[in-house]
Structure 1
Amino acid sequence: MKRIIIDCDPGNGIAGANTDDGLAIALALASPLLSLELITTVAGNTPCETGAQVAKDLIVRLGLDIPVVQGATQALQEDPAPWRETLDKRVEKLELVKLWQGVRQPDAVMADGDDAAEAMGKLICDNPGEITLVAIGPLTNVALAMQRYPAMAESVAEIVIMGGVFALDDYIKDTNFGVDPEAAHYVLHSGATLTLVPMDVTTQTLLTQQDLTRLTDIDHPLTQFVRETLRPWIDYSMRTRRLPGCWIHDALVVAWLLNQRVACGIDYRVDIELREGATRGKSWRYRQPLRVDVGIPAHCGALVHVLHSVDNDVLLTIIQKAFASLKN
């Protein structure tokens, strides 16, 4: 059994907020091969307090004893205001709030603490080599934990990150790295064992309404949570992204921990742009040797394993098997 921490920004039940974090948490909870020992939340897809409320409400509904600790409310340096304007109010501007009509919102429950960096860093450093960190939001909490616990980079078994975008039409940067470029840069260069799951691969995933009905055809509070909260998001994605369903970015991260046949990866040198301008927050990668290397230092960027292709059928099968185990 793999011991994990999930650092996230869930928005299940919140109008206009992505639900893939909640699906990733549900997959981890359903899988007998994973032991979810801590959930931490960060400002990103949702404000930090909202994400903590979503996660804690789910844990309470399931009668579980997993601590939920909220963390950073804003990035290390990036101004949060433009991001919050876009992420929190876009659904209203598009007049699609109605899609969430009748969807249960999370109860106003209190998180188990407000120092995610401390909780994360202590658990990892107290258990060297035993904890895998699943980082599926901006990396602010992770960077703060590493600054407070210098041994964390070598103590964590692995950090699997959903973030970055390299060669995808209509994207210069993604939300997770864009919200806090400095934190992403810090973690990439920390020396920890890293696997990166960028949007280039997560946009190869797809969950349709028909898939959702099939995968959650089990009478259990966890599958009910997934079914209720993902239905409006799928409709939202179909209208705003012209997809036949929705991408399930973060679920791929957890699925890869369960079965690495779900995706293929290659080692790259990876970095992120920190300078002001249109490309701030943009991630980039290359493999050696470069055909043109003028002005580029040797070993520029951090060595990271990057996933680049996914088998969506395998992904959905992994989710289905995990949810089916809830009947036992």
Structure 2
Amino acid sequence: MKRLIIDCDPGNGIVGANVDDGLALAIALGSPHLSLELITTVAGNTPAEVGFNVAKDLVERLGVAVPVVKGAVQALAEPPGPWREALDTRVYTSKLSHLWQDVRQPAHYAPPEQDAADAIGQLICANPGKITLVAIGPLTNVARALARYPEMAEAVQEIAIMGGVFALDDYIKDTNFGLDPEAAHQVLTSGANITLVPMDVTTRTMMTHKDLDRIAVIDTPLARFVTETFRPWLDYSIHTRHLPGCWIHDALVVAWLLNQQVAKAADYFVDVELRPGLTRGKSWRYRQPLRVNVGIDAPAGGLIHVLQKVDNALLLSMIERALT
């Protein structure tokens, strides 16, 4: 049994918001080999309070006793305004908000007084070597937890991160690292045991309407949650990204923890650009020894396990099994 915290920015049921965080939560909740012990939310794909409502609404609908704690409402340093403008309004500028007209909205809940960084740090440090932290949004909460609880870097069993992009056309940076580059840098160089799932591999995942049709016949609350919230996002992705379906980035992180046959990986040093300009928030990776190392400091932290290839058919079958 692997014990998990999932730090996320879910948008299931929210007009124009990505739904892969909700799928990752559903896999974790539906897998008997995983024990989801805490959900925390961070500003990213959705504002932190919106993500909190989505996650809290899901656990209330399922009747499961998983604590949900709201976290950081903005990045350590990156101004939130331009990101919120881009993420929260693009569905309206593309005139596709009608796709969500029949989708149930999550209820509103009052968040607990505890902060997500404290909840993360305290649970991990009270259970050294026992907790895996799944970080599938910007890394603000994780960076704050590491700053408040320095022993957490050694106490955490693993930090499994969805974020970064290394060599994809049309992507200088991804949203998770771009929204908070300082947090990404602090976590990646913390020395913790880290697995990184970048967009280079998650854009090789795919869920189509045909795949969702198979999930739709599974008569469970988790399957209904996924079916209801994925339909509009699939259509939105098909319209705006000209794909046959949608990528399921965050689902791969949880699937990897269940079965490492779902992907291939290799070890790299990884960091994020912090300087102002076009490449701020861009991630990069390298191995040692470098052929030319002039002007390059010794790497901070340690090697990071980076996923590179995915078996999408296996991933989809794992999702269906978890939702059953």
TM-score bracket, shorter-length normalisation: over 0.9
Alignment check: 8 A CA contact 2:16 2:91 kept? yes
User: Aligned partners of 2:248 and 2:111: how far apart in 1?
Assistant: 25
Instruction: Identify the residue that residue 57 of structure 2 maps to in structure 1.
Output: 57
Structure 2 residues without counterparts, runs of 5 or longer: none
Post-superposition CA distance 1:66-110 (Å, at most 9, x none): 110000000000000000000001101111000001100101123
- Matched to 1:12, the amino acid is N
Instruction: Identify the residue that residue 107 of structure 1 maps to in structure 2.
Output: 107
Post-superposition CA distance 1:291-311 (Å, at most 9, x none): 333332344674211001101
User: Aligned partners of 2:16 and 2:302: how far apart in 1?
Assistant: 34
Identical counterparts, % of pairs: 70
User: Aligned partners of 1:47 and 1:299: how far apart in 2?
Assistant: 33
1:67-86 paired onto structure 2 within 5 Å: 67-86=67-86
User: Aligned partners of 1:231 and 1:283: how far apart in 2?
Assistant: 32
Q: Verify: 1:21 aligned to 2:32, yes or no.
A: no
- Matched to 1:206, the amino acid is M
1:192-203 paired onto structure 2 within 5 Å: 192-203=192-203
Alignment check: 8 A CA contact 2:137 2:176 kept? yes
**Residue 114 of structure 1, CA deviation:** 4.6
Q: Verify: 1:66 aligned to 2:61, yes or no.
A: no
Q: Verify: 1:230 aligned to 2:238, yes or no.
A: no
Report the secondary structure of 1:134's partner residue.
strand
When the two chains are superposed, the root-mean-square deviation of aligned CA atoms in Å is 1.1
Task: Tell me the TM-score normalized by structure 1.
Answer: 0.97
Instruction: Identify the residue that residue 38 of structure 1 maps to in structure 2.
Output: 38
User: Aligned partners of 2:292 and 2:241: how far apart in 1?
Assistant: 36
User: Aligned partners of 1:300 and 1:67: how far apart in 2?
Assistant: 34
- Matched to 2:3, the amino acid is R
**Residue 112 of structure 1, CA deviation:** 3.5
Alignment check: 8 A CA contact 1:216 1:323 kept? no
Give the direction of change, closer, same or farther, for the CA distance of 1:74–1:194 in structure 2 (3 Å limit).
same
- Matched to 2:154, the amino acid is E
Task: Tell me the TM-score normalized by structure 2.
Answer: 0.98
User: Aligned partners of 1:294 and 1:146: how far apart in 2?
Assistant: 31
Q: Verify: 1:274 aligned to 2:274, yes or no.
A: yes
Alignment check: 8 A CA contact 1:69 1:119 kept? yes
Instruction: Identify the residue that residue 171 of structure 2 maps to in structure 1.
Output: 171
- Matched to 2:30, the amino acid is A
Report the secondary structure of 1:141's partner residue.
helix
Alignment check: 8 A CA contact 2:8 2:137 kept? yes
User: Aligned partners of 1:112 and 1:28: how far apart in 2?
Assistant: 22
Post-superposition CA distance 1:108-141 (Å, at most 9, x none): 1233345000111000000000000000000000
User: Aligned partners of 1:49 and 1:152: how far apart in 2?
Assistant: 25
Instruction: Identify the residue that residue 186 of structure 1 maps to in structure 2.
Output: 186
Instruction: Identify the residue that residue 123 of structure 2 maps to in structure 1.
Output: 123
Post-superposition CA distance 1:263-320 (Å, at most 9, x none): 0000001110000010000000112233333332344674211001101001011111
**Residue 219 of structure 1, CA deviation:** 1.2
Alignment check: 8 A CA contact 2:270 2:283 kept? yes
Structure 1 residues without counterparts, runs of 5 or longer: none
Report the secondary structure of 1:309's partner residue.
strand
Instruction: Identify the residue that residue 308 of structure 1 maps to in structure 2.
Output: 308
- Matched to 2:46, the amino acid is T
1:213-224 paired onto structure 2 within 5 Å: 213-224=213-224
Instruction: Identify the residue that residue 150 of structure 2 maps to in structure 1.
Output: 150
Instruction: Identify the residue that residue 135 of structure 1 maps to in structure 2.
Output: 135
User: Aligned partners of 1:273 and 1:239: how far apart in 2?
Assistant: 32
Give the direction of change, closer, same or farther, for the CA distance of 1:135–1:239 in structure 2 (3 Å limit).
same
User: Aligned partners of 1:37 and 1:269: how far apart in 2?
Assistant: 30
User: Aligned partners of 1:125 and 1:321: how far apart in 2?
Assistant: 32
- Matched to 2:253, the amino acid is V
Instruction: Identify the residue that residue 206 of structure 1 maps to in structure 2.
Output: 206
User: Aligned partners of 1:36 and 1:113: how far apart in 2?
Assistant: 21
Q: Verify: 1:264 aligned to 2:264, yes or no.
A: yes
User: Aligned partners of 1:54 and 1:131: how far apart in 2?
Assistant: 23
